Amino acid sequence: MSVFILKIGDEDNTSPVLAYSWGKEIFLLQVQNTETKKTSKEEEEKEKESKVKVVGYYTASDDISSLHWISQNVLVIYNSYGEFISLSTKKFSPSNPPPKGFDNSQVVLSTVTIDDEIRYQMFNDTMMSGIPQNSVMFYEHTIRGLEFSKNIYIMGKKKMLMLKHFAWQEYLDELCKKSEWLTAMSTCASLFKGENNRFSEVPNNVTEKKNILKNYAVELTKKFIMSLEEQNRHESMNLKAWSTTVDTVIDFLISTENFEYLFTAIPEALDIFNIKELFLDSIEPFILRGRVKSLPNEAFKEIVRFFTEKKKIDTLQYLVINLSTEDIDMDYAIILCMQQNLLTALMYLCSHKNDADGPDVLTPIASALGKYQRSLIEDKPEQTREYGLKFLWFVHMVLNGRLFPDGALSQEQWEVKVSETILWDY
């Protein structure tokens, strides 16, 4: 058994938590202190009561020989197969049996198997003969966990082994010190997206977790760029190496939703190496895959100029229809779409442009019809067909009360917009 004090609320309020195992099962018991008032004729007294409550439950895959707290929310168990397994008590089941759909595997943070030599040293020599391989008969005092240090020590007769459980930031900091940048970035991104549950001290609140990891991702990227500057002083990187590096940085910062930092600080940092244009070229595949969701206004205008000069109109269309409209200059973006014939993007922007009387549905309809009539006069059959279909599609969406790419007009808005469309068409 192992006991640990968990702080709840302010510093003066502590509730001891007892962890104990029986076979494969672990129970967490919390001692809750309460005060009750007892009134008598002579005086008023306070009487303290302690209540014990089961607050966590977990079933391991093998018999548990020993268990130790090594931090506030991490418990390490040693099982009959010589494995040390760290468990997140925050993810224990609140009841026994666990509720339907409970994922037992989420509790396990990491597993380490110790070598046979030191494992043998932990057993009583006189008991080894004839004892099954998975015997749990060993000296209990050979294992010690140190609270808050996240260390656990295994002491044999000739050797001592120390295991350390890393919290998420400790692990990433260690990777940065070793210049293992790719592993650090992929781990940080997986934590941000909630795909990696193998570390302790990750906030349960999704918003809090994302804010912390988002800021950490920026600091990690700064360290990485500093390492590139140092590396480049000793040996210049070729264009292929730079291309891979820029792709890595873009992918990482998009994965952690650091769009503002990506499109403001990174081009400036890369300009030192004279590869700013490489950055703009490298962003194109991410635009085409719909991963660029936000852009500062100035960065949006610069990217528009860059791809307009290269006549990559489809890239601009993909860029606009995947962007959040909160940060960009809507009037500028709408004029761009009309000039470059980006009718789908125009419909997207106007669907999100909330004027006093609701979304602007007439602008894309009028633009599509005007381009249809012009292409008809200029005898351009392919464009005529394209613009004609877009016009009919836009009108169809309004009649059905739909916005692009999703959403719907309210009943009141629908009545107004349908009336406006019919009156304008006729």
Based on the domain organization, do 275 and 313 belong to the same domain?
A: yes
Count structural domains, the chain. Answer: 2
Which residue, of 149, 165, 181, is where some domain finishes?
165
pLDDT at 372 over 70: yes
User: Which pLDDT score is estimated for 425?
Assistant: 60
The sign one gets for the Cα dihedral 306, 309, 312, 315 is positive
List pLDDT tens digits, range 299-350. Answer: 999 999 999 999 999 999 999 999 988 878 888 999 999 989 999 999 999 8
Which residue, of 142, 165, 188, is where some domain finishes?
165
Mean pLDDT of 22-38: 76
User: Which pLDDT score is estimated for 291?
Assistant: 95
Based on the domain organization, do 143 and 233 belong to the same domain?
A: no
Q: Which residue has the tokens 């192992």?
A: 2
Based on the domain organization, do 43 and 173 belong to the same domain?
A: no
Burial of 147 (0-12, 13-18, 19+ CB in 10 A): middle
User: Which pLDDT score is estimated for 33?
Assistant: 66
Based on the domain organization, do 278 and 413 belong to the same domain?
A: yes
User: Which pLDDT score is estimated for 40?
Assistant: 56
Based on the domain organization, do 274 and 329 belong to the same domain?
A: yes
Instruction: Assign 409 a pLDDT band (cuts: 50, 70, 90).
Output: confident
List the domain range (segments joined by +) for residue 6. 2-165
Cα–Cα distance measured from residue 337 to residue 318, given in angstroms and rounded to the nearest whole number: 12
pLDDT at 148 over 70: no
Based on the domain organization, do 9 and 98 belong to the same domain?
A: yes
pLDDT at 32 over 50: yes
Instruction: Assign 137 a pLDDT band (cuts: 50, 70, 90).
Output: very low
Based on the domain organization, do 235 and 217 belong to the same domain?
A: yes
User: Which pLDDT score is estimated for 2?
Assistant: 53
Based on the domain organization, do 147 and 178 belong to the same domain?
A: no
End-to-end CA distance of the chain: 83
**Minimum mean pLDDT among 248-252, 383-387, 413-417: which range?**
413-417
Mean pLDDT of 63-77: 84
Reported as half-sphere exposure (CB side, CA atoms, 13 A), residue 293 has a value of 8
Q: Tell me the longest C-alpha to C-alpha distance in the chain.
A: 106
Neighbours of 111 (CB within 10 A): 11
Q: Phi, psi (5° rounding) for residue 393? A: -65, -45
Cis omega (within 30 of 0) for bond into 296: no
Share of the chain above pLDDT 70, in %: 84
User: Which pLDDT score is estimated for 173?
Assistant: 94
pLDDT at 149 over 50: yes
CA distances from 100 to 95, 97, 106, 194 (A): 11, 9, 15, 21
Based on the domain organization, do 124 and 182 belong to the same domain?
A: no
Instruction: State the amino acid at position 287 in one-letter form.
Output: I
Which residue, of 146, 165, 184, is where some domain finishes?
165
Based on the domain organization, do 290 and 339 belong to the same domain?
A: yes
pLDDT at 132 over 50: no
Based on the domain organization, do 152 and 240 belong to the same domain?
A: no
pLDDT at 391 over 60: yes
DSSP class of residue 249? H
Based on the domain organization, do 111 and 212 belong to the same domain?
A: no
